[in-house]
């Protein structure tokens, strides 16, 4: 990668040489001029004139002064060399961007997450043109990029001048990862302003990281992110929220038993934001006998527990939730179908998973660990198990112990950024299904990123329902077309309606008479399915018909 990295001057040998020669030149010059004789101030003044090549001599200078002239002349040459090495490469880099960069990717902020994303994009397409915009001069992550052709522009990512240097108007995608929600929104607003004042063909997809989920919900309702313009398509994402959703749905066979004959018991270790998100994605599920799932949460802090109960009081209507201080308080009296480790610190989460495995003394149930750092211990901890001379295994990777690391950023990269092709195809099919059903003519690609993501999320929800109903993952082809009895379809429709209710509650909606426009977030359908008018029930059954349509279409293709 072509860039200039600022480093301490004592690590640059040329700077050290320049400093030493400058000191030597000043000393020899001062002592030489003092031989005339001159005052010390005059001698010092005359010496500094040598640096600007301005001194004239009426007679041949003294030996020391002559030495000083040549030393200072060498210093000036070296300083010019250093300046050229800084200026020319930068200008060549900007010229290269100006002439050859279009349909490229811009990443604002160089963090562990953006570094991982850049390497993933490079692995997918080694010819991808990419520009980083970062305001940290000596960022050690620069050296970790696998694509050495990536260009770097040092400057504030929210500066209109810097964005124009990166040719934001010609880019196809931009990712904003600075580590600050406020700064990320400022950058998105700056990008929008630049694009609106310039000519552009097609909308720029702008992915903006927001760590605060509640702030993300508020921002999704603003015009900057809710609606797509001809030039700008803002897409907000939260790593925990989307990573856990995708991770749960794609690993549902590790969380729930294949044959759900009893009510699933799930243990969640730690009461964190990850726990909340896991619950929001699983609490709407029912068994096909319409029994609620049971969750046990390991948490000692009563303050955290009370805050959770107050915040998620509505979840009491969706799932049975119990709190314990230690896992030893419920084991071995209670057996679990799976264990989810939701501790925030990644290292502690992995250590906790191994500790629980030792406590259980057996390789069941499955333990899933949610990690939110791009660089995990996965490669080290999951190396192939080694055998001794007797053919007995001596090294046991985590996967041998049925411990699975769910790297949230890896999940979101494959789901939101690079796009899971299977899910994207089904999301388009779902869009066409609703268009046909409601006699609309909205094109999928013209929808905002916010609404396209809603379609993808609906497909993911089918992964859960399909596994509960059939005992097999959504993307596994069946020998025969799928059909459900009316009673089973009603159970699945209940799950869909429960999912919709939890989504509404999480977004701040409450039961009440709906008054359009939805300024105060009240909805009269926040009640159980059997309490709804038939026309509203039909929408939930339509969602199940869509699921069946997608499954059968998949089988026909296979």
pLDDT digits (tens, 9 = 90+) for 397-449: 888 899 999 999 988 988 889 888 889 999 999 999 999 998 888 899 888 88
Highest mean pLDDT of the ranges 5-14, 58-67, 186-195: 186-195
Instruction: Provide the token pair at 151.
Output: 């260009």
pTM, full prediction: 0.82
Which has the minimum average pLDDT: 216-220, 379-383, 470-474, 531-535?
379-383
Question: Where does the pLDDT of residue 55 fall: very low under 50, low under 70, confident under 90, or very high at 90 and above?
Answer: low
Say which CATH class 419-557 falls into.
mainly alpha
Give the pLDDT mean for 103-125. Answer: 90
Specify the pLDDT at position 4: 40
Q: Is pLDDT of 196 > 80?
A: yes
pLDDT recorded at residue 6: 41
Residue range 101-237 forms a domain whose CATH class is alpha beta
E-assigned strand segments in 119-230: 130-134, 151-154, 173-176, 204-209
pLDDT for res 7: 46
Distance CA 536, CA 526 (A): 11
**pLDDT at residue 20, as a whole number:** 85
The pair of three-digit structure tokens given for residue 310, joined into one six-digit string: 């107050």
The most confident of 46-60, 365-379, 416-430, by mean pLDDT? 416-430
Label residue 144 by pLDDT band (50, 70, 90).
confident
**CA–CA gap between residue 226 and residue 448 (Å, rounded):** 7
Q: Tell me the mean pLDDT in the region 257-286.
A: 95
CATH 3.40.50.720 placement within the chain: 101-237
Q: What is the pLDDT of residues 338-362, one digit of tens each?
A: 999 999 998 899 999 999 999 999 9
Spatial strand order of the sheet with 105-108 comes to 151-154, 130-134, 105-108, 173-176, 204-209, 232-237
- Is the pLDDT confidence value at 2 over 60? no
Give the span between the Cα atoms of 346 and 272, in whole angstroms.
13
Q: Identify each DSSP E strand in 396-469 by its residue range.
A: 403-407
Right CATH number for 9-84 from 1.10.287, 2.30.30, 1.10.10, 1.10.3470? 1.10.287
Predicted confidence at residue 499, as pLDDT, reads: 95
**What percentage of the chain reaches a pLDDT higher than 90?**
53
Handedness of CA 242, 243, 246, 247 (dihedral sign): negative
Report the pLDDT value the prediction gives residue 238, as an integer from 0 to 100.
95
Q: pLDDT grade, residue 140 (50/70/90)?
A: confident
- Chain-wide mean pLDDT for the chain? 87
Cα 110 to Cα 154: distance, rounded to the nearest angstrom: 11
For CATH 1.10.287, list the domain ranges present in the chain. Answer: 9-84
Mind listing the pLDDT tens digit for each residue in 9-48? 556 677 788 788 888 888 887 877 777 766 777 777 777 7
- Averaged over 220-241, what is the pLDDT? 93
DSSP 514: -
Rounded mean pLDDT, 81-85 = 70
Whether the pLDDT of residue 335 is over 80: the answer is yes
Confidence of residue 251 (pLDDT cuts 50, 70, 90): very high
CATH of 244-409, one of 2.30.30, 2.60.120, 3.30.9, 3.40.50: 3.40.50
**Distance set, CA 482 to CA 188, 547, 550, 552 (Å):** 45, 10, 10, 6
Q: In which element (H, E) is residue 460 found?
A: helix 449-470
Residues of the chain with CATH 1.10.490: 419-557
**Whether pLDDT at 170 is above 60:** yes
Highest mean pLDDT among 95-109, 192-206, 289-303, 382-396: 289-303
């Amino acid at each position: 990668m072509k860039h200039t990295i600022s480093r301490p001057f004592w690590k640059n040998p040329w700077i050290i040489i320049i400093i030493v020669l400058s000191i030597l030149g000043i000393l020899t010059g001062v002592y030489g001029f003092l031989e005339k004789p001159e005052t010390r101030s005059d001698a010092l003044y005359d010496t500094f004139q040598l640096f600007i090549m301005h001194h004239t001599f009426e007679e041949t200078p003294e030996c020391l002064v002559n030495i000083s002239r040549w030393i200072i002349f060498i210093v000036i040459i070296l300083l010019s060399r250093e300046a050229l090495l800084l200026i020319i490469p930068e200008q060549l880099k900007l010229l290269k961007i100006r002439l050859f960069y279009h349909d490229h990717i811009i990443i604002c902020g160089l963090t562990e997450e953006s570094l991982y994303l850049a390497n993933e994009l490079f692995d997918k397409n080694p010819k991808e043109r990419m520009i980083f915009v970062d305001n940290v001069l000596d960022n050690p992550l620069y050296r970790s990029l696998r694509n050495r052709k990536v260009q770097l522009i040092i400057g504030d990512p929210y500066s209109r001048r810097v964005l124009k240097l990166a040719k934001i108007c010609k880019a196809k995608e931009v990712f904003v990862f600075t580590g600050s929600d406020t700064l990320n929104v400022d950058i998105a607003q700056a990008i929008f302003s630049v694009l609106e004042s310039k000519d552009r063909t097609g909308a720029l997809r702008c992915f903006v990281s927001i760590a605060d989920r509640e702030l993300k919900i508020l921002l999704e309702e603003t015009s900057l992110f809710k609606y797509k313009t001809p030039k700008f398509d803002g897409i907000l994402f939260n790593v925990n929220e989307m990573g856990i959703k995708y991770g749960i749905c794609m690993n549902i066979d590790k969380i729930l038993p294949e044959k759900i004959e009893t009510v699933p018991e799930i243990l969640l270790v730690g009461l964190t934001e990850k726990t909340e998100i896991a619950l929001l994605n699983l609490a709407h599920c029912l068994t096909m006998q319409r029994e609620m799932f049971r969750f046990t949460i390991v948490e000692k802090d009563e303050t955290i527990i009370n805050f959770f109960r107050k915040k998620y009081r509505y979840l009491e209507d969706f799932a049975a939730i119990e709190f314990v201080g230690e896992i030893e308080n419920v084991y071995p009296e209670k057996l679990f179908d799976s264990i989810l480790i939701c501790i925030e610190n990644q290292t502690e989460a992995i250590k906790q998973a191994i500790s629980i495995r030792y406590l259980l003394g057996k390789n069941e149930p499955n333990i899933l660990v949610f990690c939110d750092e791009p660089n995990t211990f996965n490669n080290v901890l999951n190396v192939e198990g080694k055998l001794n001379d007797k053919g007995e295994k001596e090294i046991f990777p985590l996967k041998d112990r049925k411990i699975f690391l769910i790297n949230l950023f890896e999940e979101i990269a494959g789901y939101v950024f690079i796009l899971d092709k299977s899910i994207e195809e089904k999301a388009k099919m779902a869009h066409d299904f609703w268009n046909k059903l409601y006699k609309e003519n909205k094109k999928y690609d013209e929808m905002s990123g916010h609404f396209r993501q809603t379609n993808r999320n609906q497909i993911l929800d089918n992964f859960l329902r399909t596994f509960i109903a059939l005992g097999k993952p959504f993307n596994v082809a069946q020998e025969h077309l799928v059909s459900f009895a009316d009673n089973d379809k009603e159970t699945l429709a209940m799950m869909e309606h429960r999912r919709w209710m939890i989504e509404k509650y999480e977004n701040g909606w409450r039961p009440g008479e709906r008054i359009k426009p939805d300024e105060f977030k009240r909805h009269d359908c926040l009640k159980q399915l059997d309490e709804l008018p038939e026309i509203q029930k039909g929408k939930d059954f339509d969602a199940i018909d869509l699921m069946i349509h997608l499954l059968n279409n998949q089988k026909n293709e296979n």
